[in-house]
Structure 1
């Protein structure tokens, strides 16, 4: 396998390569030490019978060292260049490893509950407030936001915008109001607990499927493990995954206050609140809607309003001294000040950010995880092997080292027992 020149590696990878070479030298040194002990003990055991124990110790150490060397090497390449079956596992199964890694990240990291737990402990609003109340930071946000808004405005087609405005207005404003009734209906559903039946049905359905589909978990993880692992160990992994899934669903079924159920209730409650509006505001919007859309000049007025608004906005966005920019900067500083001092506002912002992040993760986690899979698929097999070896190879050398001494002790114990029993 061709090695990447050291000069092309990052400083961190260069350090990992040095550490890997050092540990390989240590593991090889342990093997050579056992070989030297074996030679000496073998030559002297006829003169000094006690050296037979040293010979057994060294012999077991060599066997353990060679066995673990083969196992570790087989992950990354063919031992001694010989194409033995089930060796060079990583380069031969690169794409499958990428898919497995993507699935692992999606399942264990891109989870709504994991993201929620992390964000709830981060205190995002307080940190954001401390950053925003600095004038330089507020100015920077206002400047960047103005540049982005101006770019979007210039990219829009006036005719398309007018059509979109009219279509959206007719679809969502002329029709009878539906936000408050929908929010009120959902509030009543949540208040009566009627939605719990749907949650119970979903939990029962999943548990029923798990009970009759144990076979679906056979090989789910174990088939991705190295072939040299014992079948018992591989099956234990599959059994553990299945038991954990069943345990989680049983806990959710038995506990009305389970965290997953509470999360569902919280989400539905927030959805109901968002669907409802202030009655006075609703009335004003309804009056304005009626006045505007009862006029035959709707399209003309929409076009004039858009052109005027666009011209005024572009001018204000491009002028650092404009009232819009100045007020935006002041507003950002004020928001930062409030975020650092108002616990209730902090709570609302943290909740909103957390819910938005959980929604995005739950909806797009597969697409996010696919980046890993597609990236690994584009890697060269040799490059993939080297990247993985640099990350975990040093730790794997400890396996070789441990195998040397465990094998030595095993050889000594076996020889001692055999000598005691058989003479």
Structure 2
């Protein structure tokens, strides 16, 4: 009753076992070949049992015709029913994979002829029973993701592992990015943002607050000290500059006296500014800065001048180079911090993960929020991409080669199906024996 498929014979060589039809989506491997050998052994066992009951039937009928006793009828009935059960189950099992005896009997060779319909039904089944919102939410609630995540992150070893993985991912991402592309994007973003935002009012408010708090006085102190020190060191240069600006008709000793006088007065002025916090010149500087801060906020002409100056500064090549090179410095700093296990970045990330794990373990409301977020994300993915997920199943099955699919499925489940034939033979024999017994008992 078992027919050897021509394709099985033609493709039984070692090379063919590693090949598959175009579009089949899979090939046979060593495990599949071992399964097929198991299927063949079980087929031989089931067929051998059928042959055995057939021989028993023949011998029982011969003994019955020879008048060896009534027991021969019981044996013949059991063997006959066993043959019927074996043949019926052989037909049913064979019809799943091919046409029995090669005859195009309707509703046979179900898998190769109904493969696409089976794939569509499988996709629909998965979509309705596994990708529905209720199923996803119910499953995630039983998982208790927030509690499990909290317990897992609370373990220092797990926090270290996550930190290491995040560092590796960060280094990989920074390595993939090209510096030139990122520098161009950063430069354009900074320049565009600076062009779009008016900076004068902001500078004015900041300057106004600095002056009101007296923050500028340290700068004035520093300028006065440096100016005094410079005048002391460069006294000759100052006097020469004053003498050089004098008219040519004045005597040289007069020019020298004037230069010395100017230098002494200038040094006295700077020294008094340095040593007298309430010097009138300091008050003049305070008034100038307050007025300038107000003009930056309210005077249209001043604000326009600042904007023009800003555009000129941003347009300079040196400034653009500084903006572009900022990315290289930032990237090197981040990569170095990610590689160093004791860096502040990694220590803070690790501490944050441990803190999150502890909070999740102790705070029921936070766990509920995390569970809700996980459910919402999963439901969104399912609702948005359900068709794509189910079509992946349908399209994948549709792309499989029918013969290869049949052989693959038969290799995986064929051995168990042969037990149906064996059980059919045994159960058929027992039912036949029971029917024959009841018939004779009722007839007697």
Matched, 1:34 2:58: no
Query: CA shift at 1:43, angstroms?
Result: 0.7
Which residue does 1:386 correspond to in 2? 407
| 1:124 alignment partner, one of 145, 148, 158 | 145
Which residue does 1:66 correspond to in 2? 87
Query: CA shift at 1:53, angstroms?
Result: 1.8
After superposition, the Cα gap between the structure-2 partners of 1:398 and 1:342, relative to the gap in structure 1 and judged at 3 Å, is: same
8 Å CA contact 2:182–2:327 kept in 1: the answer is no
* TM-score of the pair, normalised by structure 1: 0.58
8 Å CA contact 1:131–1:137 kept in 2: the answer is no
**Structure 1 CA distance, aligned partners of 2:326 and 2:348?**
18
Query: CA shift at 1:52, angstroms?
Result: 1.3
Unmatched 5+ stretches in structure 2: 1-6, 19-27, 197-305
**Structure 1 CA distance, aligned partners of 2:353 and 2:168?**
13
Which residue does 2:335 correspond to in 1? 318
Q: Which has the larger radius of gyration?
A: 2
**Per-residue deviation, residues 21-50 of structure 1 (Å, max 9, x unmatched):** 343233223212211210111110121232
Aligned pairs (5 A) from 1:205-216: none
8 Å CA contact 1:153–1:314 kept in 2: the answer is no
After superposition, the Cα gap between the structure-2 partners of 1:330 and 1:157, relative to the gap in structure 1 and judged at 3 Å, is: same
Q: Comparing 327-336 with 359-368, which one deviates more in the overlay?
A: 327-336
Which residue does 1:91 correspond to in 2? 112
After superposition, the Cα gap between the structure-2 partners of 1:44 and 1:91, relative to the gap in structure 1 and judged at 3 Å, is: same
**Structure 1 CA distance, aligned partners of 2:182 and 2:401?**
44
Aligned pairs (5 A) from 1:336-351: 336-351=357-372
8 Å CA contact 1:316–1:324 kept in 2: the answer is no
**Structure 2 CA distance, aligned partners of 1:39 and 1:305?**
101
Matched, 1:43 2:67: no
Number of residue pairs matched by the alignment: 295
**Structure 2 CA distance, aligned partners of 1:85 and 1:316?**
73
After superposition, the Cα gap between the structure-2 partners of 1:101 and 1:409, relative to the gap in structure 1 and judged at 3 Å, is: same
**Structure 2 CA distance, aligned partners of 1:416 and 1:318?**
87
Query: CA shift at 1:119, angstroms?
Result: 2.1
**Per-residue deviation, residues 257-284 of structure 1 (Å, max 9, x unmatched):** xxxxxxxxxxxxxxxxxxxxxxxxxxxx
Which residue does 1:284 correspond to in 2? none
**Structure 1 CA distance, aligned partners of 2:383 and 2:322?**
39
After superposition, the Cα gap between the structure-2 partners of 1:331 and 1:14, relative to the gap in structure 1 and judged at 3 Å, is: farther
| 1:138 alignment partner, one of 156, 162, 179 | 162
CA-atom RMSD in angstroms: 3.9
Unmatched 5+ stretches in structure 1: 171-294
